[in-house]
Amino acid sequence: MNGESERVGIDVEFVVGAFMLVGLACLGYLAVRGAGVEIIGSDRYQMQARFGSVSGLREGAFVEMAGVRIGSVTAIRFDPDRYEALVEFALDPQVRLQQDAIASIRTAGIIGDKFVKLSPGGSQTLLEPGAVIRDTESSISLEELISKYIFESSR
């Protein structure tokens, strides 16, 4: 009888251990996906947009269309020739943008993180991967709005 109870104990320990390993693997996967890190084999494509100001926008910020996350910001660079910020982002492959699509920098909530909001256009012509979105709306600085309101109301 001792041999039988030892065998049941080993089987239970093995099942519990395997269950824990699977659980940890799932937790790791969710942590990586939640952080916005690309998983190997991602087939997203790159797009670009030029903005006068990207104040508060960071690499890794999400890109959304119609309230749904469809990509993430991969790089933000300053273009010294045009005195503009060039934002690169990766989009899900099923998303196709029209030539007159609009890219805006918005704030999640009142004082939340900045993100890129894409609005579809009405053109029949689609942008190719790697193209630059021409129509953009720059980041709105809360500090600038408050100071403008205070100084204009005191006149």
Taking every pair of Cα atoms in the chain, the longest distance, rounded to a whole number of angstroms, is 95
pLDDT one-digit tens code per residue, 73-111: 999 999 999 999 999 999 999 999 999 999 999 988 777
- Residues 120, 50 share a domain: yes
Provide φ and ψ at 32, rounded to 5°. -70, -45
152 assigned to some structural domain = no
DSSP 25-81: HHHHHHHHHHTTPPPTT---EEEEEEES--TT--TT-EEEETTEEEEEEEEEEEETT
Q: Report yes or no on 40 lying in a domain.
A: no
Q: Are residues 70 and 15 in the same domain?
A: no
Q: How many domains does the chain have?
A: 2
Predicted pLDDT of residue 155: 60
Structural domain containing residue 85: 45-146
3-state secondary structure (DSSP) of residue 114: strand
Are 31 and 62 in a shared domain?
no
Q: Which two tokens stand for residue 126?
A: 């689609």
**Whole-number Cα distances in Å, 91 to 46, 61, 81:** 6, 12, 27
Q: Using an 8 Å Cβ cutoff, are 137 and 108 in contact? A: no
pTM for this predicted structure: 0.66
Shared domain check, 117 and 69: yes
Percent of the chain topping pLDDT 90:
44
